[in-house]
Amino acid sequence: MKIFANENLFEPIIDYLRSLGNDVLSIRDSGLSGISDDEVFERACKENMVIITMDKDFTRIFRFPPEKCGGIVVAKIYKRTVDETLTIFKKYYQPIKEEDITGNLIIITPEGVRIRRSTR
């Protein structure tokens, strides 16, 4: 899966996604730090990548419709250590199937996962 990792995503989560065999482009590693949310979305749409972020703005489906890109995963795991965040992310990300992500909005919280399926 082609993933566009937003700059607010912790490095250990990016490493975990790569360990699963995903093709991950990190905004930080590619010298794109500071680009706007709109630019992140446009690039993901252009290259059909899944956006993975901790930015809750990406849950605004009218502004960022997930069916226009590869899908959007928002990790709403705040006020935790990096290790705690990684543990929660792994617990709920691992069972998600690629077809559940494609074109949909996935929200991961400490309590579980919500999938908002697109109406395409």
Give mean pLDDT, residues 87-104: 96
Q: Is the per-residue pLDDT at 39 higher than 70?
A: yes
**pLDDT of amino acid 15:** 97
Spell out the domain ranges in the chain: 2-116
User: Residue 30 pLDDT more than 90?
Assistant: no
Residue range 29-49: mean pLDDT, rounded: 93
What does the pLDDT read at residue 85? 97
What distance in Å separates the CA atoms of residue 47 and residue 118, rounded to the nearest whole number? 19
Full-model pTM = 0.95
Token readout for 92 is 């709920």
